[in-house]
Amino acid sequence: MRLLAVLLGLWEVLGRVCLTGRWAILIPLPSRIGEELAAMLASGEVGVALAHSALRVLVGGGTGAALGLVVGLLVGRGGFGRVLGSPLALVRPIPPIAWIPLTLLWFGVGELQQWAILAGATFHVVTAGVRDALDRVPASLVESAKNLGSRGFGLELVRLRAAAPELGFTLREGLAMAWFVLVAAELVSATEGIGVLVLQGRDLLLPARTFVGMLTLSVAAGLSDALLRRVGFGVGVQR
Amino acid sequence: MIRLTDVKRSFREAETGAEVTAVEGLNLEVARGEFVVLVGPSGSGKSTVLRLIAGHDPGPVQSGTVRVDGEPVVGISPRRVLVSQDPALFPWLNVEENIRFGLRALGRPVDVSAWVSALGLEGAERRKPHELSGGMRQRVALARALVIEPEILLLDEPFAALDALAREQLQEGLEAAWLKTRPTVVMVTHAVDEALKLADRVVVVTARPASVCDELRVEAPRPREVAELGLLRRRLSERLRSYRAGG
């Protein structure tokens, strides 16, 4: 925190001294950003943008995570599910932005299209993580359970319980990914949202807005992650 | 009751792809209720023998037969429980729940208080595995295995990771528990004293590939003071040394 304050101070001072002409406008100083932030908070713009984006993350990211959990469990179990592994691996490296044209064609301009982008990104993170979590369950634990008489569904439950902390951690990673692609998702068609604030920085020649948008995004992502951690997701995972 | 006949078991080593023969030409018979201890140099395939009896790792390369009561061993069964150096307790369950696990899975009544006392775990029932010392964890692992009253108990150096005091306490706990229900026990250990303290019969196993090269009956009454077994101890140590040197 102290380092941050020092860096901001440096930015402010160097900015005042070195930035002239159009650069004085293009690179806003922390004080300017602070002003803009205060104004936007007062007017409720930040609140509205946050609400819209948070809802998108919840619906889109949530859907992707739920689907990812199911598919990840199917693939991670081995057997028939493993078949899904290869097609998923082919699709995974394609960045969310590349999906924008297709999603626009299929879903048109609107919330559904944005949910699709968010869901897609979250889905891949979660399937990979869930599969890893199941792979990492120590064989000795499963063997012990079997040795003591556990079979069938009971045995599957043992695997799940053993993987639970890692599964929770994966869901948090999914959430982080949803926030991460939010701006790209809102790029083309959103009218309200954090991404919109970020884009307005250029459109309105008010780069301070972009910084306010980034700050809001960072805080929102951090708080939602902290919330999940509080509730117990991924607690105890050493990474 | 347990009979291994001319057993050979090889593994393909993960890194080099080379075939490693862990066990070859191994013959072993264990009578019902007998406490047999396998001793031998490290890495001599003794663990593999236990795993074969337990039905873990059926594996691709195998010849010879492993039979229990005349029937070949196929797969894992609660009648043949293996306890290793790694207690493999379920981290989300406390001590009592861990011990009850097998009983629950098998649909049997879940009163475990007798076993909790037998292994000195009173007071710790609500604790989770990560709150326990190594010695305590092994007690729980043992209780968990004994409570389902398996016919065969297989112990793979269960006390190797413990300090001398914990080791002694657990040896005594194990013996007392064994005397109660008398399962057939096959245990692997490096510690000569441990073997002499607990075994009805000590079986010496050669270095990789493992096969039986010697046997020693221990007829002293229980509980034993190993110090009084001086002669036996010397004989056993000598034999182990000679086999280690390849003699």
Residue range A86-143, pLDDT digits in tens: 888 888 899 888 988 999 999 988 899 999 999 999 999 999 999 989 989 999 999 9
- Residue B205 β-bridge partners: B212
Tokens coding A84: 């899904």
pLDDT range class, residue B58, cuts 50, 70, 90: low
Residue range A23-69, pLDDT digits in tens: 888 888 888 889 989 999 999 989 999 999 999 999 999 999 999 99
Give chain B positions within 8 Å (CB) of A162.
Answer: 90-92
* Smallest CA–CA distance from A144 into chain B, residue: B88
| B58 Cβ under 8 Å from any chain A Cβ | no
| B14 Cβ under 8 Å from any chain A Cβ | no
Q: What is the CATH number of the domain that holds A165?
A: 1.10.3720.10
Question: Cα separation of B9 and A74, whole Å?
Answer: 33
pLDDT at residue B245 greater than cutoff 80: no
What is the domain count for chain A? 1
Question: Cα separation of B212 and B65, whole Å?
Answer: 15
Label residue B5 exposed, middle or buried (CB < 10 Å: 0-12, 13-18, 19+): middle
What is the model's pLDDT at position B247?
A: 45
Residue A156 placed within a domain: yes
Helix (H, G, I), strand (E, B) or coil at B61: coil
Count of A-B CB contacts under 8 Å? 48
Residue range B96-145, pLDDT digits in tens: 999 999 999 988 888 888 888 888 888 989 999 999 998 889 999 999 99
**Residue numbers of the domain that contains A133:** 37-230
Residue A5 placed within a domain: no
Give pTM, 2 decimals: 0.82
pLDDT cut 70: percent of chain B above it: 96
| B185 Cβ under 8 Å from any chain A Cβ | no
**B152-156: strand order across its sheet:** B80-83, B152-156, B184-189, B35-39, B201-205, B212-217
Please report, to the nearest 10 degrees, the dihedral formed by the alpha carbons of residues A54, A60, A66, A71 taken in order: -150
| B227 Cβ under 8 Å from any chain A Cβ | no
**B62-68: strand order across its sheet:** B19-30, B2-12, B62-68, B71-72
Contact call for A145 and B84, based on CB within 8 A = no
Residue A192 placed within a domain: yes
φ/ψ of residue B68, rounded to 5: -120, 120
Contact call for B92 and A162, based on CB within 8 A = yes
More reliable by pLDDT, A239 or A43 = A43
Give chain B positions within 8 Å (CB) of A164.
Answer: 92
What is the model's pLDDT at position B60?
A: 52
Helix (H, G, I), strand (E, B) or coil at A165: helix
Helix (H) or strand (E) holding B217, with range, is: strand B212-217
Residue A19 placed within a domain: no
In one letter, which amino acid is A186?
Answer: E
Residue A4 placed within a domain: no
Nearest to A99 by CA among A118, A123, A72: A118
Give chain A positions within 8 Å (CB) of B56.
Answer: 143
**B68 CA to centre of own chain:** 16
Optimal mutation site among A147, A166, A235, A238, interface B, most CBs of chain B within 10 A: A147
* Smallest CA–CA distance from B107 into chain A, residue: A149
Length, in residues, of chain B? 247
